[in-house]
C-alpha cells in the first residue's frame, strides 16, 4: 500500500556512506522543521541523488525539499517530490472531511489517528507525508461504514468479520483509508491490546462534533510510542518515526517526563523503549553527538525505510537463525496458521474447526494466484537469508 524505495536499491558504497547520507537527510529535515537556513556549502557537497532516494524511502522528501529550496534551486526530482506531497495533503484532507461528515451524519463515533493529527504540529502540514488516513471507529457499524465508503467511490480492499485489525478502503489515484476496529492486535501484542481494552477514557469528546472524538495529548503520545514499537519489532521503522517523536516532544516539552505518562508506559511495558527512542530522536534533530550504542540504534532506523523491510521481518521471524530447520519452521507457520489466529483471519473456520484442513490447502494456493510475485520474493529471501546472528544489526 505504501510506495517506498528500498534502501538496498540505493548505491551505498558501505555503511559509512549510508550513514553519511542519513546525517545529511537528518540535517535537511532538522532545518526544515526549525525554519533554519541550511548551510549552502554542506548542501553542495551532499550526494544529492542518494539523499533524495533515502528521503523517498523514509517519506521525508517533502520536508527535505522545503529546506533545500532555501539555499539552491530544486532539481526536477525534488520539485516533483514536494509537489506530490502537497497534492496528497490536499486530497487526503478533502477526502477525510467527506468521510468524517458522513460518519457524523450517520451517528457513528470516530477518532482520527496518527498522521492526520501529527501533521498539524509540523511547520507546514505537507511536510508530514502520509500514505493513508487512519480512523478508529465504532466497528458495530462496520457494514454501514462499508456502504458509506463504497458510496463515496472507494473499493473495499479488506473487510474483517471480527473486532481485530482494520478495514482498508482505496480510491484512485492514491487515497487509502484504514478504518481501525481496535488500536492493537490481541494475538501479536497482547499486553498493548489488554492495556487499551482496559482503558475506558480513551475517547475524548470533540467540542464541535456530536460523534467526533480525540485523544488527550498524553494518550496520543502513548499511542504514538505503542504504534512505533509495533512497527519497530515487526519489520523495523524509519527516520520519519523519530521525527514524529521529536516534533511531538517539542510541541509538548513537559509531557513525556510527567509522572502520569511514565506510569502508563510501565503498564504498557514500554518504559525502556520510550526512553531510548525519545533520547535518540531529540539528539539527532538537535545536532547532539551520539554514543556508539546510539549510532547502532540509529543505523537500525536508517536501514528500515519508513515501514520496515522484509529482511528485518525475516530476521525477527527466524530469531536470527539462518539454519535450514529454522527456515522450515517458518514455512510451516506461514502455510499452517496457528489456531489462535483463526478468529481474526478465518472466523468461519474458527467456528467450525472441521474446515481447518481446507485452510491449510487454501492459503498457499491463494498466495500463488493472488500475490505470485510477492510470494516468490518471500521464498527467495527466505532461502537466501544467511544472516549471522552476531552480525544481525551491522
pLDDT value, residue 127:
94
**φ, ψ of residue 199 in degrees (nearest 5):** -90, 110
> Given the C-alpha cell 458510496, which residue does it identify?
151
The set of residues, in sequence order, having a beta carbon less than 8 Å from that of 124 and lying 6+ positions away, is 66
pLDDT surpasses 80 at 97: yes
Three-state secondary structure along the chain? CCCCCCHHHCCCCCHHHHHHHHHHHHHHHHHHHHCCCCCHHHHHHCCHHHHHHHHHHCCCHHHHHHHHCCCCCCCHHHHHHHHHHHHHHHHHHHHHHHHHHHHHHCCCCEEECCHHHHHHHCCCHHHCCCCCEEEEECHHHHHHHHHHHHHCCCEEEECCCCCCCEEEEEECCCEEEEEECCCCCCCCCHHHHHHHHCCCCCCEECCCCCCEEECCHHHHHHHHHHHHHHHHHHCCCCHHHHHHHHHHHHHCCCCCCCHHHHHHHHHHCCHHHHHHHHHHHHHHHHCCCCCHHHHHHHHHHHHCCCCCCHHHHHHHHCCCCCCHHHHHHHHHHHHCCCHHHHHHHCHHHHHCHHHHHHHHHHHHHHHHHHCHHHHHHHHHHHHHCCCCHHHCCC
Q: How confident is the model at residue 9 (pLDDT cuts 50, 70, 90)?
A: low
Task: Average the pLDDT over each of 7-16, 187-196, 211-220, 366-375 and give the range with the smallest value.
Answer: 7-16
Q: Give ∠ CA 25-26-28 in degrees, rounded to 5.
A: 65
Question: Quick one: what percent of the chain has pLDDT higher than 90?
Answer: 69
The set of residues, in sequence order, having a beta carbon less than 8 Å from that of 141 and lying 6+ positions away, is 106, 108
Mean pLDDT of 223-245: 96
Q: Over the stretch 361-384, which tens digit does the pLDDT of each residue have? A: 887 788 788 778 878 878 887 877
Q: Over the stretch 304-350, which tens digit does the pLDDT of each residue have? A: 999 888 888 887 778 777 788 888 887 887 777 776 666 667 777 77
Query: 204-205 and 213-214: which strand pairing?
Result: antiparallel
Q: How confident is the model at residue 1 (pLDDT cuts 50, 70, 90)?
A: very low
Question: Quick one: what percent of the chain has pLDDT higher than 70?
Answer: 93
C-alpha cell recorded at residue 61: 522528501
pLDDT value, residue 182:
93
Residue 165: how many CB atoms within 10 A of its CB? 20
**φ, ψ of residue 155 in degrees (nearest 5):** -100, 130
Tell me the Ramachandran region of residue 287: left when phi exceeds 0, alpha when psi lies from -120 to 50, beta otherwise. Answer: left
pLDDT value, residue 394:
37
Q: Over the stretch 172-194, which tens digit does the pLDDT of each residue have? A: 999 999 999 999 988 889 999 99
Amino acid at each position: 500500500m505504501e510506495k517506498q524505495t528500498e534502501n538496498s536499491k540505493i548505491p551505498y558504497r558501505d555503511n559509512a556512506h549510508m550513514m553519511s547520507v542519513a546525517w545529511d537527510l537528518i540535517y535537511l529535515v532538522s532545518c526544515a522543521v526549525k525554519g533554519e537556513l541550511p548551510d549552502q556549502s554542506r548542501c553542495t557537497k551532499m550526494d544529492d541523488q542518494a539523499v533524495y532516494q533515502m528521503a523517498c524511502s523514509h517519506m521525508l522528501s517533502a520536508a527535505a525539499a522545503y529546506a533545500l529550496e532555501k539555499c539552491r534551486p530544486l532539481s526536477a526530482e525534488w520539485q516533483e517530490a514536494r509537489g506530490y506531497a502537497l497534492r496528497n495533503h490536499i486530497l487526503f484532507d478533502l477526502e477525510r472531511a467527506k468521510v468524517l461528515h458522513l460518519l457524523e451524519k450517520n451517528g457513528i463515533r470516530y477518532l482520527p489517528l496518527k498522521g492526520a493529527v501529527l501533521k498539524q504540529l509540523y511547520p507546514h502540514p505537507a511536510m508530514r507525508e502520509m500514505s493513508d488516513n487512519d480512523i478508529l471507529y465504532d466497528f458495530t457499524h462496520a457494514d454501514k461504514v462499508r456502504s458509506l465508503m463504497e458510496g463515496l467511490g472507494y473499493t473495499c480492499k479488506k473487510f474483517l468479520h471480527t473486532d481485530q485489525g482494520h478495514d482498508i478502503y482505496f480510491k484512485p489515484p492514491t487515497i487509502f483509508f484504514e478504518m481501525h476496529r481496535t488500536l492493537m492486535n490481541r494475538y501479536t501484542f497482547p499486553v498493548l491490546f489488554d492495556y487499551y481494552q482496559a482503558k475506558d477514557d480513551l475517547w475524548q469528546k470533540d467540542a464541535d462534533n456530536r460523534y467526533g472524538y480525540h485523544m488527550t495529548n498524553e494518550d496520543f503520545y502513548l499511542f504514538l510510542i505503542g504504534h512505533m514499537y509495533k512497527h519497530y519489532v515487526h519489520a523495523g521503522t524509519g527516520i520519519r518515526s523519530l521525527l514524529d517523536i521529536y516534533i511531538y516532544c517539542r510541541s509538548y516539552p513537559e509531557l513525556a517526563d510527567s509522572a502520569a505518562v511514565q506510569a502508563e508506559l510501565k503498564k504498557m511495558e514500554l518504559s525502556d523503549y520510550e526512553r531510548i527512542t525519545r533520547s535518540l530522536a531529540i539528539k539527532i534533530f538537535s545536532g547532539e553527538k551520539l554514543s556508539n550504542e546510539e549510532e547502532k540504534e540509529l543505523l537500525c532506523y536508517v536501514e528500515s525505510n519508513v515501514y520496515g523491510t522484509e529482511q528485518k521481518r525475516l530476521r525477527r521471524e527466524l530469531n536470527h537463525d539462518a539454519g535450514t530447520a529454522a527456515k522450515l519452521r517458518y514455512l510451516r507457520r506461514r502455510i499452517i496458521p496457528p489456531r489462535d489466529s483463526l478468529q481474526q483471519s478465518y472466523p468461519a473456520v474458527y467456528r467450525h474447526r472441521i474446515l481447518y484442513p481446507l485452510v491449510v490447502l487454501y492459503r498457499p494456493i491463494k498466495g500463488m494466484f493472488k500475490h505470485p510475485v510477492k510470494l516468490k520474493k518471500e521464498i527467495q529471501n527466505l532461502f537466501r537469508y544467511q544472516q549471522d546472528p552476531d552480525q544481525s544489526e551491522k
